[in-house]
Amino acid sequence: MFTPSRIKHCRVCGTEVAWRVPPGDNRDRAVCPACGEIHYENPINVVGTVPVWDESVLLCRRNIEPRYGLWTLPAGFLELGESTAEGALRETDEEAGAHIELQGLFTVLDVVRARQVHLFYRASMLDTHLAPGPETIEARLFREHEVPWDELAFRTVRMTLEHFFADRRAGAFGVHVGHVA
Amino acid sequence: MFTPSRIKHCRVCGTEVAWRVPPGDNRDRAVCPACGEIHYENPINVVGTVPVWDESVLLCRRNIEPRYGLWTLPAGFLELGESTAEGALRETDEEAGAHIELQGLFTVLDVVRARQVHLFYRASMLDTHLAPGPETIEARLFREHEVPWDELAFRTVRMTLEHFFADRRAGAFGVHVGHVA
**Contact criterion met (CB below 8 Å) for A79 and A45:** no
Query: Does B21 lie at the interface with A, CB-CB under 8 angstroms?
Result: no
- Is the pLDDT score of B144 beyond 90? yes
CA nearest to A134 within chain B: B24
Q: What is the pLDDT of residues A147-160, one digit of tens each?
A: 999 999 999 999 99
For residue B146, the distance in angstroms to the closest alpha carbon of chain A comes to 31
- Counts of helices then strands in chain A (DSSP H, E): 2, 11
Query: Other CB atoms closer than 10 Å to residue A86's CB: what's the count?
Result: 17
Flag whether residue B90 sits within 8 Å of chain A, measured between CB atoms.
no
| Bridging pattern class, strands B176-179 and B100-111 | parallel
Q: Tens digit of pLDDT for each residue in A22-53?
A: 998 999 999 999 999 999 999 999 999 999 99
> Could you report the per-residue pLDDT of B124-136, keeping only the tens digit for each?
999 999 999 999 9
**Which candidate from A14, A134, A177 shows the least CB-CB separation from B9?**
A14
pLDDT at residue B12, as a whole number: 97
C-alpha triplet B38, B119, B171: angle, nearest 5°: 160
B93: nearest Cα among B42, B53, B58, B142: B58
Name every residue whose Cβ is closer than 8 Å to that of residue A50 and which is 6 or more positions away in sequence: A57, A73, A106, A120, A121, A122, A123, A160, A161, A164
Min Cα–Cα distance to chain B from A55, Å? 26
The per-residue pLDDT for A1 is: 45
Give yes or no for B18 touching A (CB within 8 A). Answer: no
What is the C-alpha to C-alpha distance for residues A84 and A95, in angstroms, rounded to an integer? Answer: 16
* ipTM of this complex: 0.95
Rg over CA atoms, chain B: 19
Cβ of A79 and B179 within 8 Å?
no
- Cis ω before B66 (30° cut-off from 0): yes
- Strand boundaries in B63-174, DSSP class E: 71-72, 75-77, 100-111, 116-125, 136-142
Choose from A7, A84, A107, A113 for mutation: most chain B CBs within 10 A. Answer: A84
A70 vs A171: CA distance, rounded Å: 29
Give the pLDDT score at B2. Answer: 55
Query: Taking chain B, what is the end-to-end CA distance rounded to the nearest angstrom?
Result: 11
One-letter amino acid at B62 equals R
Confidence category of residue A2, pLDDT binned at 50, 70, 90: low
Find residue B106's DSSP bridge partners.
none
Chain B residues close to A6, C-beta within 8 Å: 11-12, 37
Residue A122 has pLDDT above 80, yes or no: yes
A52 touching B (Cβ < 8 Å):
no
Contacts of B110 in chain A (CB under 8 A): 83-85
Cβ-defined contact of B85 to A110 (cutoff 8 Å): yes
